[in-house]
Amino acid sequence: MNDTPLARAAAVFQAAFGQPPTIRVQAPGRVNLIGEHTDYNDGLVLPCAIDYRTVIVARPRADRRVRVAAADYDGAIDDYALDAPIERLAEPMWANYVRGVVRELLQRGLPVQGMDLAISGDVPQGAGLSSSASLSVAVCRLFATLPGFEALGPVDMALVAQAAENDFVGCKCGNMDQISSACGVQDHVLKIDCRSLAVEPVPMPPGAAIMIFHSHVSRGLVDSEYNTRRAQCEAAARHFGLPALRDLDLATLEARAAELDPTVLRRARHVVTENARVAAAAQALAAGDLARMGELMEASHASMRDDFEITVPAIDQLVEIVKAAIGAAGGVRMTGGGFGGCVVALVPRELVEAAGAAVQQAYTAPNGQRASVYVCRAAAGAGLVDA
C-alpha cells in the first residue's frame, strides 16, 4: 500500500465510514529560520511552511454529527454532536485540537455542518515543527470548503486555529505557527509582522535546502522560563513607556542601559537586535546571499545563547558541528522556544550530505540518541489536495 498520509487517511476513512471521501485538504508544519521570542514582543519573524503535513479526508453529513477517525492512532474515532456543548477531553489529546477548532467556528457564527473525517500526517511530533498547528489549521481549512465560509481567508483561519489552541486545548501559543501553516508559499519564506499580521513572501535562494536537526534534548524548562522571559521583556518595554520592545531602538537601549537590571537589559537587547536581524535576513534571502544569511543566523544563535540564555550545551554543540561542516556557505542556529528541541540550517544542496554525516558522526544527545535529520523545502500553505 502507498504509505503516505493521504493514502492512510483514505484507507481509514473507507474502513470507518464505508464510503470514499469527497474532500481532501492539507496543512503543513513549519520551521522558523530566524526571529526567536520576537513574536510576543510585536516583532518580526521569518518562518516557512515545510513539506511535512497533516492531511484530512472528509465527507459532509446530512445531520449535525462530527465523526473523526485518527489514522495514526489505530483508527480511533471521536464522535459528537454540533448542537450539544463541545467539551474538552482528558484524552485523547489529538481529539481536542479538532474539537477546539469546531467549537471556535461555531462560536463565530459560521455555518458548520456535520462531517465524517479521517486524519493522518507526517509532521514529526515533539520536534518543534508545529504538528499541532498543522492539525488545527487543516481542520479549519476543511470546514472552510463548506458554503458560507467564503470570507474566511488564510490569516483568519490561522487566528481561529490559534484561538482553539489557546482557549480550548490550553496551549498559550503565539500566532506564528498557524500563520506559517495557513499562508505558506511554495519555495518562499514568510516575513511576518506579528503586530499587523502582514505576511510578505520572500523567495528562497535556488539550490538551498532547509535542514532540521532534532537534538532529542527534552525541553523541560521551556514553559516556566518562557513566562519569565516574557515578563522581563514586558518590564523593559514598560520602563521605556512603550507598548512593546518592537518600538525600542538599539541606540536608545544602549544610551540608557544603566537604568535597567543587567538581566533585563540582556533580554531586551536580544529582542531589539533579533528584529533587526529578521529584516536583514529577508533582504539577504531575496538577494540570494546565503553567506550573509549565515552571518545573521550565527549572530542570532549567539544572542539566544548569551543575551536571552535559552540554549543548552548539547544544542550549542550541534550548532558548532553543522557550522564546521558548512562553513560560510550557509547558516545554522537553534530554532524554537529553547532549552532543547531543534537546530535549523540553511545549506546549499551540495553540502546536505556532508552536514548530515558530520552530525551523525559527532553528535550524541545526553540520553544517548543520535540527532534526527529532516531535509525540507519551503512548501505551500493549507489548501485542497488533488486525489
Give how far the C-alpha of residue 127 lies from the chain's centroid of Cα atoms, to the nearest Å.
10
Cell numbers given for 142: 476543511
Torsion of CA 271, 227, 332, 196, to 10 degrees: -50
Is-contact 118 10, C-beta < 8 A?
yes
Characterize the bridge pairing of strands 208-214 and 342-348. antiparallel
C-alpha 56/C-alpha 52 separation (Å) is 14
223 a catalytic residue:
no
CA atoms within 13 A on the CB side of 146: 18
Catalytic residue among 63, 177, 193, 316: 177
Asked whether 275 and 256 are in contact (CB, 8 A), the reply is no
Coil/strand/helix, residue 88: coil
Q: Tell how strand 65-70 and strand 372-376 pair up.
A: unpaired
Catalytic residue list: 177
